[in-house]
């Protein structure tokens, strides 16, 4: 999600960014699917959808953003280009990565 801050645009943080989109339709697209890490993660944690997460959740989030005029940016990375610090083992929807 992209949110204005002091006239500048910046990428919002993971769930807080999704929550602050100000639109229930966007929140409804993911709220009951994503779990997040059970323990603390560094403040620079970056979450990405897995391929399965993109198909089942991410596309619905983007469709809701488009419908409501919420700005967003899609960033795709290969898992080999990053160190996975945490993975949602239950549903395999999301990962937390750190660049190599």
CA trace torsion 74, 25, 13, 43 (10° rounding):
-130
Alpha carbon distance 71, 62 (integer Å): 9
**In the chain, domain spans:** 2-35+42-99
Alpha carbon distance 8, 32 (integer Å): 31
Scanning 50-91, the segments in alpha helix (DSSP H) are 51-53, 59-68
Can you give the pLDDT at residue 97? 80
pLDDT digits (tens, 9 = 90+) for 72-90: 888 888 877 778 888 888 8
Q: Which of 1-5, 30-34, 36-40, 65-69 has the lowest mean pLDDT?
A: 1-5
CA trace torsion 54, 42, 84, 12 (10° rounding):
20
Look at residue 59 and give its three-state secondary structure: helix
Q: What mean pLDDT is predicted for residues 88-93?
A: 86
What's the N-to-C CA distance of the chain in angstroms? 24
pTM (two decimals): 0.68
């Amino acid at each position: 999600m992209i949110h204005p801050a002091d006239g500048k645009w910046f990428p919002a943080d993971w769930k807080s960014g999704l929550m602050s989109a100000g639109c229930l339709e966007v929140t409804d697209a993911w709220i009951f699917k994503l779990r997040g890490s059970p323990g603390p993660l560094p403040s620079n944690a970056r979450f990405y959808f897995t391929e399965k997460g993109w198909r089942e959740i991410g596309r619905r989030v983007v469709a809701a953003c488009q419908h409501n005029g919420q700005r967003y940016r899609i960033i795709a990375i290969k898992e080999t280009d990053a160190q996975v610090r945490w993975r949602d083992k239950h549903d395999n929807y999301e990962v937390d990565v750190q660049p190599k």
